[in-house]
Copies of this chain bind each other. A is one copy, B any other.
Amino acid sequence: MRITVLFFALYSVLRKQSCNVKVYAPRLVAEGRARLRGRFSIETLLPSAGWVRRAWQPTEEDLYNSCGLDGVVFSRIFVFSLRVFSLAAIIGIFVLLPTGMVGGNELHEKLHVCSHLLDVSNQTPMEFVGRLWCHFSAAYIITGVMCYLLYAEYKYIAEKRIAYFNASKPQPQHFTVLVRDIPLHAGNSLSDTVEAFFTEYHPSDYLLFNFLVDALDDVRLPKSLCTVYRKLTHLKSTSSSSQNQNRSGFFGMFGKRVDLVRDYSKKLEDIEQNVRLVQSDSRRELKFFPAAFVSFKSRYGAAKALHIQQSVNPTEWVTEWAPEPRDVYWPFFSTSFMQRWISKLIVFVASVLLVILFLLVVAFVQSLTYLEELEALFPFLGKILKITVISQVVTGYLPSLILHLVAALVPPIVKLFSAMQGYVAVSQIEKSACKKMLLFTIWFLFFANVLTGSVTSEIEFLFDPKTIPSRLAVAVPAQVHICLHQVLINDIENFKINLLHFSLLMCDFISRHCCRRKDDKFEIPSIPYYSEIPRILLFVLLGLTYFLLAPMILPFILVFFCIGYIIYRNQLLDVYQPKYDTGGRFWPVVHNSTIFSLVLMHIIAVGIFGVKKLPVAAILIVPLPVLTLLFNDYCRKRFLPVFRKFSAEVCSYFARSIAFFYVCSCSMPHMVRFLFPLKRSERASNGSRTKKNPGFALLCGM
């Protein structure tokens, strides 16, 4: 606890240093809201709680304006958990703990006391019935309250999502549908095919289409294009003219001064000129992708075209909502239906292999704690392991170090897997990665910790559904300490690291003092929802599973959520800039995971009563998971469609005939594609417009 306070103090001091402002508030800098203290004062060296107040104060409205609905959903997870665990902690500490309290005040005993509390052997029947009654009521009350809160949250976020959609300005992606797997017959060009199809089947709604050409691969300029464009934008946004000049020599330190803006503008124009040359070269064959962005006259028209199956063959003319321009992920635009299907299968197999690999690592790590086994495996290590220091390191720190390293490798691997599944938007990839991470987190950080054993025993566990409750009931209480230590403590440290950004701080420090041309590479990070949400949901799982067994864990979880709430609000407002806005589509994941945690709590309760040979109690708990699952089914029917598709009522709200060109900003430098707006009648008039904005014109590809 003291370390936590120290960390917070350190953060508040470091944050005040104006040289660190790009590490601790990059977003404020980018938006020009950062107060840069010009000169040194004693105040900047004193720790203060001002940042906590600033993170606490903003309303949900502010958060929404700053981070979109996803940020709101993220903070609602904390609000929801705080509500649930406040009640759970009150019930746990004031009701469950006293009934189980036999003696001794130490935490150690308290933690263990509840798991022994239903031991009938040394209790009178009356005492026992009373305790049973308490535990039952607690399980039923907490389930009821959670279901009510889950329902309220789901409803609240669904309403927010609809309101958000209604209130937003008409945006190109709402009028545009991405069509893939366009069938090409010999003799017909892609543009003719698309034009003919949509004018025939959507005559009243169809507006125009952009299709995708793999043009820049030939021009050999793609890599520099985006860098130049980004640098130019950055330079234009910073006002002071002195910064825009640089020496032309070695690392910008020698040579004559040049105007960077003019320099980059020139470069951009050269690239554009080159591209135009290539395009106007009629002999060159363009490599068309069998995909197109089709725009409609109204949101409703786009929704209609999206929801109705286009072709007789469901694997052709596959439609989906066009992603936000900033959210587009290019590599899989040209994939066909079959390729996507196969890559999904490959990803599934790869995930299974990853799980097995991770299980092997965990098994190896667990074997490290028994030096004898290690010696038997590697006899040549015998002498080395006899040295006390080494044996201590090997048994004490090495296992936790290896686990941490491997666990740190998992999120990027999982994200890579999701990216391979053929999604066309970063948000879709991260949502899919979030689900995978959730499975992974729950399985490894919970089950692998609880069910310490070999790979085979864990697989056996899955294949023997009858014994699951009783095995969990035995294993879960036994591992309270490990769970508390490994997960809770480690993760609060993780928060602090997240807050302090040590690695970034060091990089920034080095770059500022050793290499002076870092300014234009300055990038605002985006929050990795896919790895953060599962981590938080793990605590909901922990809190619920230990609610009946060891209520003393609940205050710790409450503290965790309080700290997390402040830290993440701070990060959302000052540090991270959202890269996309899914409109709260992460909430169904949170909801389902919470329902899973609840049902797991019920299964463990059944197991405990079974182990303690109280069949009546076990049977009386059974309706709880059934009711919870029914509640979940109802929620799925009632709210999930809102997150999947927009209804006629919502779409018609903005059914105005506004024409939009769907212009995608290039998110990956080496994958810049050209978008051709090819409605013939409009073709002629486009030339004049593109002159105004070279960046736009370039991307528009006219």
A residues near B, CB below 8 A?
Answer: 162, 200-202, 204, 300, 303-305, 307-315, 337, 341, 345, 463-466, 630, 633-634, 637-639, 641-642, 645-652
Contacts and interface: CB of A to CB of B under 8 A. Distances in A.
Residue among A639, A649, A652 having the largest count of chain B Cβ atoms under 10 Å: A649
A642 B310 CA distance: 11
Contact of A162 (B162, B200, B312, B646): B312
Contact of A311 (B202, B307, B464, B649): B649
B464 A641 contact: no
Contacts of A309: 307, 641, 645-648
Closest 4 CB pairs of A and B: A314-B641, A309-B647, A307-B307, A201-B648
Given A312-B649, A314-B638, A314-B641, 14 more contacts: A162-B312, A201-B300, A201-B648, A304-B304, A305-B648, A308-B645, A308-B651, A309-B648, A314-B639, A314-B642, A314-B647, A315-B638, A464-B464, A465-B465
A650 B312 CA distance: 7
Contacts of A633: 341
Given A200-B652, A341-B634, A463-B466, A308 B312 contact: no
A314 B464 contact: no
Contacts of A341: 633-634, 637
Contacts of A204: 204
Given A341-B634, A463-B465, A465-B463, A310 B647 contact: yes
A154 to B, nearest CB: 12
Contacts of A651: 308
Contacts of A315: 637-638
Nearest to A466: B463
B647 A311 contact: yes
B201 A310 contact: no
Contacts of A642: 312, 314
Nearest to A338: B634
Contacts of A649: 201, 310-312
A204 B205 CA distance: 11
Nearest to A344: B633
B303 A630 contact: no
Contacts of A650: 312
A303 B304 CA distance: 9
A305 B647 CA distance: 10
A649 B634 CA distance: 35
A633 B341 CA distance: 10
Contacts of A308: 303-304, 307, 645, 647-648, 651
A676 B305 CA distance: 32
Nearest to A645: B309
26 contacts: A200-B652, A201-B300, A201-B652, A303-B308, A304-B304, A304-B308, A307-B307, A307-B309, A308-B645, A308-B651, A309-B641, A309-B648, A311-B648, A312-B647, A312-B649, A312-B650, A314-B638, A314-B639, A314-B647, A341-B633, A341-B634, A341-B637, A463-B466, A464-B464, A464-B466, A465-B465
A300 B315 CA distance: 20
A473 B651 CA distance: 57
Nearest to A337: B637
B310 A648 contact: yes
A161 B638 CA distance: 33
Contacts of A202: 648
A200 B300 CA distance: 12
